[in-house]
Amino acid sequence: MEFVIVDIETTGGNPSQGGITEIAAIAFNGEKIIDRFHTLINPERYIPDFITGLTGIDQNLVADAPTFGEIAQKLYVFLENRVFVAHNVNFDYSFIKEAFRTTGFEFNPFKLCTVRLSRKAFPGFGSYGLGRICEQLSIKIENRHRAFGDAEATTVLFEKIYRIKPEVIFDTLKKNNGEAFLPPNISKEKFLQIPEKTGIYYFHDQKGQVIYVGKAINIKSRFKSHFSGNSQEKLKLKSEIHDISWELTGSEFLACLLEALEIKRVWPKFNRALKYKSSNWGLFQYEDSNGYIRFNVGKNSNFLKPIYEFDSHSEGWKFIIEQTESFQLCPKLTGIQKTPADCYDHQHNKCLGACCGKESVEIYNKRVSEFLDSLEEQKGAIIIREKGILPEESCALYFENGVFKAYGFFDTDSFFSHEGEFLDALTKVKHLPETKYLLRSFIPKIAPGNIIPI
């Protein structure tokens, strides 16, 4: 069996957008190096300054180098029928596979990752990056961050593994061993521990920090799907994940709710699609120095509790305009009109004069009270009953005014034995207005008998 140890330099991290600037490949037969391939490559695109700073490769250096298409045939013959080996193999492989695809070659070799092999052959090291593992094993790297220098060092590392623990290489090559998709720092043993159940899960980096939060009906299956494909984001996540933890929920609905809460709490770097600060708006009430009750539509904050919430400023603005008209409130006192004197409506005989003291506090605030009473009638609390983690268990999801407030797990037979004690036993969660969107999406799927008004 022959192996080919490969390293490349590129213009960036995305195989479909970046280009290869240098490639080195060293053929090894298990006993000795039998051949070498090395060339600079003209990527036919701009090389960013930070890449030049890292590798020393700039436009002038590759100006007269061949394009990938010009060396594709020769490289393909060199790699053909050899096991493809690289440090963090999916990065190098994805670029070369994409480059071959654009030049008409189908490339699907067996692959080995020296990061994963090193973790098995030399357990206990703090880091398995090429620089650190070579330093710990006294492997000298000539010309770091250049393809041939890194490929030579990786070859020495691979030879050490082959000589000391060849079984980790051949076990990995066994057909259907189930490890090919795994990130280099996640062992097969860890993968086998992942439950095939519903819940939320966390990806951790080398320092234990959470870099991704997700939810799934089948956590193990979802974990596997994260690492199928070679997009830039998946490759980056694959290289940074060092551990996974999880929390079972039983209920898919609860998993969605907890995922939203945890993303807001942790702000993981890979949850970009969901990671945004709340822009929800609210209606705030206050009393001015003359005793008139006033209102203002503004952004929600941690310091003031709104009396009503909206998805956007425009929704809140539309609402207060409608209520001002319905209850004959003063546009100036409801925050619609900003004027130092009486409101424009009063000037046109549409306002009864609270803005200029012509309508008494008592009469005006009575209509305000009627408005506030109408809001109270729209409010309410419900408990939604969902399945629990265990077969004999139920899950309670508590909502106030559409926002998720608390949850708990109970024996199904005694779900509502003592309602007061029941509510006290729930686990409270942080106020997150976005959870009302999840309620709206899930409530049509819930049987009416499992929605209990409080």
Band of pLDDT at residue 278, cut at 50, 70 and 90: low
Range name among 101-105, 180-184, 190-194, 334-338 with the lowest pLDDT average: 180-184
Q: DSSP alpha helices (H): ranges in 175-245?
A: 188-193, 219-226, 232-240
Give the model's pLDDT for residue 415: 65
The whole-number pLDDT of residue 178 equals: 57
Half-sphere exposure of 8 (CA within 13 A, CB side): 28
Average confidence score pLDDT of the chain: 88
Q: Other C-beta atoms within 10 Å of 87: how many?
A: 27
Backbone torsion region of residue 85, taken as left when φ is above 0, otherwise alpha when ψ lies between -120 and 50, otherwise beta: beta
- DSSP letter (8 states) at residue 184: T
Alpha-carbon torsion (226, 229, 235, 238), positive or negative: positive
pLDDT confidence bin for 417, thresholds 50/70/90:
low
Residue-wise pLDDT tens digits, 234-248:
788 888 999 999 999
User: Would you state the pLDDT for residue 377?
Assistant: 60
Task: Tell me if 351 sits within 8 A of 345, measured CB to CB.
Answer: yes
- Averaged pLDDT, 83-94: 92
Q: Cα separation of 158 and 341, whole Å?
A: 82
Q: Which residues pair with 90 in a beta bridge?
A: none
Q: Which two tokens stand for residue 339?
A: 């004027």
One DSSP character per residue, 348-402 reads: TT-S-SGGGTSS-HHHHHHHHHHHHHHHHHH--EEEEEEE-SSTTEEEEEEEETT
- 217 touches 196 (CB < 8 A): no
Structure letter (DSSP) for residue 327: T
Q: What is the DSSP letter of 334?
A: T
Token code pair at residue 109 = 């070799």
pLDDT at 23: 97
Task: Please tell me which of 78-87, 339-348, 369-378, 429-438 the model is most confident about, judged by mean pLDDT.
Answer: 78-87
Measured distance CA(131)–CA(249) in Å, rounded: 41
Task: Quote the DSSP letter at residue 182.
Answer: S
Please state, in angstroms and rounded to a whole number, the distance separating the CA atoms of residues 155 and 114.
9
C-beta separation of 383 from 396 below 8 A: yes
- Is the confidence at residue 389, as pLDDT, over 50? yes
In angstroms, the CA 251 to CA 447 distance is 14
Residue 257 has pLDDT above 70, yes or no: yes
Domain ranges of the chain: 3-173, 188-266, 282-377, 381-453
pLDDT the model gives residue 275? 46
Q: Which residue has the higher pLDDT, 387 or 422?
A: 387
Across the range 94-103, mean pLDDT stands at 92
Fold of the domain built from segment(s) 3-173? Nucleotidyltransferase; domain 5 (3.30.420)
Which residue's structure tokens are 């000539």? 142
User: Which CATH architecture fits 188-266?
Assistant: 3-Layer(aba) Sandwich (3.40)
The answer to whether 57 touches 22, Cβ cutoff 8 Å, is yes
pLDDT digits (tens, 9 = 90+) for 222-233: 998 888 766 677
Same fold yes or no, 3-173 and 188-266: no
d(CA 103, CA 89): 21
* 108-122 per-position pLDDT tens digit: 888 999 999 999 899
Q: Average pLDDT of 193-202? A: 95
**Is the pLDDT assigned to residue 277 strictly greater than 50?**
no
Q: What is the mean pLDDT of residues 437-441?
A: 79
Backbone angles phi, psi at 294, to 5 degrees: -115, 165
Contact 42, 125 (CB under 8 A): no
Strand partners, 212: 203
3 close to 27: Cβ distance less than 8 angstroms? yes
What percent of the chain stands above pLDDT 90?
Answer: 54
More confidently predicted of 436 and 200: 200
Per-residue pLDDT, 122: 93
What mean pLDDT is predicted for residues 417-427?
A: 71
Q: What is the DSSP string of 335-351?
A: TS---SSS-HHHHTT-S
State the pLDDT at residue 8.
Answer: 95
What is the per-residue pLDDT across 324-355, written as a single tens digit (0 to 9) for each?
998 999 999 999 998 888 888 888 888 999 99
Label the pairing between strands 3-10 and 83-86: parallel
CA–CA distances in Å: residue 291 to residues 321, 373, 444:
22, 19, 44
Rounded to whole angstroms, the Cα distance separating 376 from 309 reads 13
Mean pLDDT value across residues 263-287: 78
Sheet containing strand 393-400, edge to edge, reads 427-428, 403-411, 393-400, 381-387, 451-453
Integer Cα distance of 64 and 69 in angstroms: 14
Residue 451: which of 370, 363, 381 has the closest Cα?
381
Between strands 381-387 and 393-400, the pairing is antiparallel
Query: Over 90: is that where the pLDDT of 307 sits?
Result: no
Partnered with residue 36 across adjacent β-strands are 26
Which of 48-57, 92-101, 270-279 has the weakest average pLDDT? 270-279
402 pLDDT higher than 50: yes
pLDDT, average across residues 424-430? 90
Gap between the Cα atoms of 75 and 57, Å rounded: 21
> What is the C-alpha to C-alpha distance for residues 139 and 150, in angstroms, rounded to an integer?
11
